[in-house]
Structure formats: structure tokens, C-alpha cells
Structure 1
Amino acid sequence: MKDEILQLAREGNEDKLLKLIAGTRFYPDAIKEAAKFKHTLLVNKLFEQLSFNPYNTITGLTIPQLALVNSALEGYSSGLHFAEVKNMVSLGGNIFHGLNALISESLLTEENVFKLIDCAKDEVQKTTLCDRVENTFDIKCHPGVELSEASSDTKRLNH
């Protein structure tokens, strides 16, 4: 059953998927798969079927709702749909789920890292993500200071 649900999500087959998935525990998987193939309307329909609208929460997200947003964020990241990733991050999704998706799909390139960093909600999150990438992988993402600039700054400070 799970394989059929994932196939329908991949295809964006809304009618069949919404009937088949009702009452199952496969919503996070289906959301992730639909997001990977940029079936944004289907992702929103799956949220809706769970009586959840991430765009209209007054009190903030519950832990199960946040898990659904993170499933969508992972899917959008693994499909390299960074505008949607940014949207999920703005709704409270954890950007590190996006990093994990890039890693698990073997999509961790310098270009994709920079695109993911651009999805961060603020400078603190950008710095934290960049630190993690630099400390774990051989990808430099902090803007560097040229050696000649650093030495000339030092000379000016010493005089």
C-alpha cells in the first residue's frame, strides 16, 4: 500500500491518492514525495485532509504539524525546489531537514548549499547552517578575507 501511495504522490494523482491515503499513517511520506516532484497543490490538499493549514495558524505549529512541514521541506529540498523550501522555513520548518535531504539524495554541491543558505530565515540561521556545512563537508560557504587584506589590516592596527 505504501508503494502505491508514494507512486500516486510522485505522479500528482490527487483523486486516487486522497482516497487511498485516508486513515493511514503514510501522510508524511506522501507529502515528502509530492513535494519532491513539486506537486504543491497536492501537498496542500494532504495538509488540508489532516485539517491543517500551515498558512493560517494563530497559535503556532504543534509538534505533529511541524513534522508535516518538515516532511514537505525535505521533499522540496530533495527536488531542488528552493523557493518552496524558503516558504516552509518561513512557516517554521527546520532548514537542517533540507540539508539532510540534500545529503541523502547525494545533491550536496556548493551551488545547492548556497541556495539552501539563501532559504534561511535570518542571519543567525545562515551562519549556523554555514558553520555546520564547513565543519562537516569540504564546502566553504563563509565569505573569506584575502590573505593580503588581512595582513594589511594588521599592519594598520600596529601603526
Structure 2
Amino acid sequence: MKETIIKLAQDGNESTLLELLVGTRFYYDAIKEAAKFNHTLLVNKLFKQLNFDPYNVVSMSIGQLALLNNALEGYTSGLHFDHVKQMVSLGGNIFYGLNALVSEDLLTKENALKLIDCAKDEVQKTALCDRIEQTFDIPCHQGTEPAEIRDTSVRVNH
């Protein structure tokens, strides 16, 4: 059943998917796959079927945040960075995007910089860039290589 649901989500087959999903535990998979294939209306209908409207919520439960992060992962896996930025602005964790790039073998300097541009603020941009540089040795601080950043921070701290 899971494979059928994933295929329907990839194809954007709304009516069959929405009907088949009722009462299952495969919403997360369907949201991630629909997002990966840029079926934004389907992602929103899946949210709605779960009585979740991420655009009009004051605070989210852990389950709702997981739904949002699954959409963020899917959009990142499909390299739909405009939607990634939107999911981050709604409260999604940008590091789920980094994990998606790594797991899909899509982490390049270009994609890393696009993901960094999706960060909600400078603090998040710096944290994400630092993680990418330290873990994957991809320079992403503008105008400097990772070693130069570390050398500068050491001098400042003295």
C-alpha cells in the first residue's frame, strides 16, 4: 500500500490519493513525495485533510511540525527552493533540507548556497553555513574559505 501511495503522490493523483490515505499512517510519505515533485496544491490538500493549516497557525504541535518538515524535505529533494524558503518561514527546520540534500546525493556548493538563502535570518544562515563547511568541506561564507573563517574567529577570540 505504501508504494501505491508514494506513486500516487509522485504523479499528483489527488482524488485517488486523498481517498486512499484516510485512516493510514502514510501521510508523511505522501507529503514528502508530493512536495518533491512540486505538487504544491496536493501538499496543501494533504495538510487540510489532516486539519492543519500552516499558513494560519499561532503555534504547532510536534506532529504538525513533523508534517511541515516532511514537506520541507520533499521540496529540498526536488530542488524547489522557493517552497523550501516558505516552509522555513512557517517554522520548518532548515537542517531537514540539508539532510535531504545529503541523502539524495544533491549536496553541491550551488545547492548549499541556495539552501542557505532559504534561512529565516542571519543567525540561521551562519549556523547552516558553518555546519556545511565543517561537515562537508564546502565553502559557503562569502569571499572566504572555511580555513580563513576559523583563523579569523580564533584571532577575534584572543
Give the TM-score of the pair, scaled to structure 1: 0.89
Structural RMSD (CA): 1.0
Q: Mind listing any 5+ residue stretches in structure 1 that lack a counterpart?
A: 147-159
**Corresponding position of 1:101:** 100
Which residues in structure 2 correspond to 1:132-143 (within 5 Å)?
132-143=131-142
Deviation of 1:145 (Å): 4.9
One-letter amino acid matched to 2:87: M
Task: Show CA shifts across 1:67-105 (max 9, x none).
Answer: 000000000000000000000000000000000000000
**Corresponding position of 1:10:** 10
Aligned length: 145
One-letter amino acid matched to 1:98: G
Deviation of 1:40 (Å): 0.2
Segment of structure 1 superposing worse, 9-18 or 135-144: 135-144
1:38 aligns with 2:38: yes
| Separation in 1, partners of 2:28, 2:72 | 11
| Separation in 2, partners of 1:102, 1:5 | 23
Runs of 4 or more consecutive aligned structure 1 residues displaced over 2 Å after TM superposition: 143-146
Q: Mind listing any 5+ residue stretches in structure 2 that lack a counterpart?
A: 146-158
Secondary structure in 1 matching 2:100 = helix
| Separation in 2, partners of 1:35, 1:145 | 34
Give the TM-score of the pair, scaled to structure 2: 0.90
| Separation in 1, partners of 2:77, 2:142 | 26
Larger Rg: 1
